[in-house]
């Protein structure tokens, strides 16, 4: 089995693959104050509860956008599995050529996303990840990653709205009954959801237009995708496990599979 780990700003996502089938997925809140021992206990307990044997894990691949945690997880993996993980960074085979000003600036999770988008769904493709930030990454038909857009995530937008206004309450990030809102909560929800849908549709259209690839397939992943996906027709594929699948594909490429 292969364990894939995606360390994000808000959550750490884990996926366990048996050959090419993902057999288990779980998440933990990202806390960079946790020690490697604490994460080791967390992983061991999860394996025990779900009746998986850590000795069956033959490889681990790791992506991280939280540098403080990368070293901790290397130690965690060594203690738990007696393995050294493959860390997704410059020099690792991904099958994607990154043609931006500085490829080292591209987050590891974004590389995993576009690798999965391209190899699972074909190119050209526009891969969106609705996480802490919302990212839009464009890959052409030849597997060339050549354009990226980053915007505040919907939760960041919501936090800014109610933290900067004395009279507005915290509200659930959910679609209101109608955009024609008649109370404060629905008004805020309408602004958040439909404002975000408008952003997604405009950025998608503009990126396709300037890249001259109107046929690019749009693939979405990330925690807030479901809120947006049902309100727009620009998303062709919703794959909640895209990042984990991309990490497994990259592990395979670096291990002769």
C-alpha 45/C-alpha 68 separation (Å) is: 23
What residue ranges of the chain are covered by domains with CATH 3.30.420.40?
2-87, 97-243
Classify domain 97-243 by CATH number: 3.30.420.40
C-alpha 79/C-alpha 193 separation (Å) is: 43
Helix H or strand E segment including 133: strand 133-139
Instruction: Respond yes or no: is residue 56 known to be catalytic.
Output: no
pLDDT at 100: 86
Q: How far is CA 17 from CA 4, 5, 47, 218, 256, in A?
A: 8, 11, 13, 25, 17
Strand 237-238 to 217-221 pairing: parallel
How large is the C-alpha radius of gyration of the chain?
19
Which token pair is 214? Answer: 């109107």
Which stretches of the chain score pLDDT less than 50?
A: none
pLDDT at 83: 94
Among candidates 252, 19, 247, 228, which has minimal Cα distance to 113? 247
pLDDT at 103: 83
Q: Are 126 and 138 in contact (CB under 8 A)?
A: yes
pLDDT at 29: 85
- Token pair 């493709």 in the structure block, residue: 125
Fold of 2-87: Nucleotidyltransferase; domain 5 (3.30.420)
Choose, from 6, 109, 239, 252, the residue flagged as catalytic: 109
Give phi and psi for 119, each to the nearest 5: -80, -25
C-alpha 21/C-alpha 234 separation (Å) is: 28
Length of the chain: 257
pLDDT at 257: 66
C-alpha 171/C-alpha 160 separation (Å) is: 12
pLDDT at 200: 96
pLDDT at 62: 94
């Amino acid at each position: 089995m292969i364990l894939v780990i995606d360390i994000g700003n808000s959550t750490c996502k884990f996926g366990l693959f048996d050959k090419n089938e993902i057999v288990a997925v779980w998440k933990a809140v990202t806390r960079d104050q946790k020690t490697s021992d604490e994460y080791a206990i967390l992983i061991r307990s999860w394996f025990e509860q779900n009746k998986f044997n850590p000795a069956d894990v033959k490889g681990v691949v790791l992506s991280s956008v939280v540098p403080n945690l990368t070293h901790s997880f290397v130690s965690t993996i060594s203690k738990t599995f007696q393995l050294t993980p493959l860390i997704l960074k410059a020099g690792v085979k991904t099958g994607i050529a990154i043609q931006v000003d500085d490829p080292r600036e591209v987050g590891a999770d974004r590389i995993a996303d576009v690798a999965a988008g391209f190899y699972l769904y074909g190119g050209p493709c526009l891969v969106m990840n609705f996480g802490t930030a919302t990212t839009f990454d464009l890959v052409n038909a030849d597997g060339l990653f050549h354009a990226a857009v980053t915007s505040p995530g919907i939760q960041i937008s919501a936090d800014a709205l109610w933290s900067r206004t004395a009279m507005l309450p915290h509200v659930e990030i959910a679609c209101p009954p109608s955009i024609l809102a008649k109370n404060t909560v629905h008004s805020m929800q309408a602004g958040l959801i439909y404002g975000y849908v408008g952003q997604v549709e405009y950025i998608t259209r503009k990126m396709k237009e300037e890249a001259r690839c109107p046929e690019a397939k749009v693939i979405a992943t990330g925690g807030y995708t479901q809120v947006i996906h049902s309100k727009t027709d620009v998303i062709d594929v919703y794959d909640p496990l895209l990042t984990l699948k991309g990490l497994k594909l990259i592990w395979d490429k670096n291990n002769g599979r």
